[in-house]
Structure 1
Amino acid sequence: MTSSKRRAQIVSSLRTKGAASVRELAESLQVSESTIRRDLDLLDRNGELLRTYGGAALSPQAAAPEISFEVSAARDSAEKEAVAERAAAMVEDDMVVVLDIGTSTRLIARRLRGRPVTVITANLAVLDELRDDDAVRLCLLGGVVRRNYLTLVGSLTEAALRQVSADLVFLSCTGVRPNGHVVDDMEVETLIKQAMIEAADQVVLVASEAKFPGTGSLRVCSLAQIDTLITTAGADPQTLELCRQAGGKVFIA
């Protein structure tokens, strides 16, 4: 088991139990207590849990239930609009663009209306934005409908992405950690995001300041795999510098 999967299981266990001791976690995951302590220390620094004497408890952020698409869309709307405007400016005519799951990517799609581009997506909100636009060639990936977040997910979506060769992918996330990890909080979305990264020549991360550090325990990728990061003025400057040091461009919308 990789360290990222082990840490995801720790958070999952705490979601169920609320709290656990180092000994309990070490026994259930079949690793040493010292390994669990290191995991808990890291997850505590990243805001995924709260370190307690002899164990850990779920942090308030991680304990929060998954929100619907509509609620997410209403949050930080001004910042998301600014990020979407800057992102859409990167798209040239005749490009093939993959738009990820999320509310920011719907706003990007809105700005691509009337453009001679190809848009590939598993985002049903993007479909709603572009379904009646004759200028855009729209390709909808297959999969299982996840109704509360207007997305298609699952093995069919991943299999379809293996057939895709795109110029750009606009990637969303739930958090960008100070250590440079780009994270999400749903496994079904994480696997699709990773497949999208593999399908595109350039990876553009769209993440407003609220995503620094955000939430999420599942690692999607590192900033070293991001070609361009588009964010807003309140994003953590040290994390942005990590992206630059890894060779990525940073744009403040």
Structure 2
Amino acid sequence: MLKSERIKTILQMVNTQKFVTVDELAQSMQVSDMTIRRDLNELHKANKILRVHGGAQLLSDQSLIEKSYKQKREIHNKEKDEVAKRACNLIHENDSIFVGPGTTLELMVANLKVKKLRIITNSLPVFEAAKNNMNDYDLIMVGGAYRRISGAFLGALANNELKTMSFSIGFVGVNGIKDSAMTTANLEEGQTEGIGLDHSQLKFVVADYTKLDHSDFHQFYDLRNVDGLITNHEIAPELEKQYSQFTTIYK
């Protein structure tokens, strides 16, 4: 089957079923999984589908309903794990780090190997992951209004508490990055993350490559004001060139 015919068939199946797996597509067109993955990655970069772990889904579905942190744990696990481990390499003994909400950041604190560290977070899942780390870290949980879908504490109480602190490094996640705009689904959650970054000596955003060239409801920070974007080694060359004009790329 010609590539143009495969692309047309993939788009038809995604539009009809809303979600299709790599296996389904490969069997339907009698080609290898690797060929389908290349096609899906190309369509994702062209903003025609949403590439997810194991397959693809209808692009229009991604922005209709915000996924909970439990749902996000089930997608892009390989990509998130790579980014999380790369972020760990930027943390040193005796650092005080602010960690915002996000499933990649949960993985980051779970994988930390340094022995002495102070971790400050407004995310209950991140706090739990840090608590379960084999190292006995100094943990500070920032309180506030609880946002159940993301597991984050936010609002005036959280913001005022963070404003009294300073951090060696700040790490935040995003729902999407479009040009220099770092975006998330909730305005108050974004404000709290922004304050955490403002009070950090070094500022990093962690985002697997599927978050790049996409945006969500609220822009909470400018990529030009962070010290680095931590992402996957398989970031497309054109995207790496685009985002490297705003900040340093760690891949």
Q: TM-score when scaled to structure 1? A: 0.70
Alignment of 1:1-253 (within 5 A): 60-61=60-61, 63-112=63-112, 115-131=115-131, 135-177=136-178, 179-246=179-246, 248-252=247-251
CA distance in 2, matches of 1:203, 1:71: 27
Given that 1:223 and 1:242 are in contact with CA atoms closer than 8 Å, whether structure 2 keeps it comes out as: no
Query: How far did 1:190 drift?
Result: 1.0
SS in 2 for 1:171: strand
SS in 2 for 1:183: strand
Alignment coverage as a number of residue pairs:
193
Query: How far did 1:62 drift?
Result: 6.4
SS in 1 for 2:195: helix
Q: CA deviation digits over 1:125-180, x for unaligned, max 9?
A: 12212235562100110111222322111111111110111011111001111x22
CA distance in 2, matches of 1:156, 1:235: 38
CA RMSD of aligned residues (A): 2.0
SS in 2 for 1:216: coil
CA distance in 1, matches of 2:214, 2:103: 15
CA distance in 2, matches of 1:114, 1:90: 11
Given that 2:152 and 2:189 are in contact with CA atoms closer than 8 Å, whether structure 1 keeps it comes out as: no
SS in 1 for 2:73: helix
Query: How far did 1:236 drift?
Result: 4.8
CA distance in 1, matches of 2:125, 2:113: 14
CA distance in 2, matches of 1:174, 1:109: 19
CA distance in 1, matches of 2:158, 2:164: 10
Letter in 1 for 2:189: E
Letter in 2 for 1:149: S
Query: How far did 1:243 drift?
Result: 3.7
Query: How far did 1:113 drift?
Result: 5.8
Identical counterparts, % of pairs: 20
Query: How far did 1:220 drift?
Result: 1.6
CA distance in 1, matches of 2:110, 2:164: 25
CA distance in 1, matches of 2:122, 2:203: 17
Given that 1:224 and 1:243 are in contact with CA atoms closer than 8 Å, whether structure 2 keeps it comes out as: no
Distance 1:80 1:63, change over 3 A: closer
Q: 1 or 2 for the larger relative contact order (CA 8 Å, sep ≥6)?
A: 1
CA distance in 2, matches of 1:187, 1:225: 19
SS in 2 for 1:74: coil
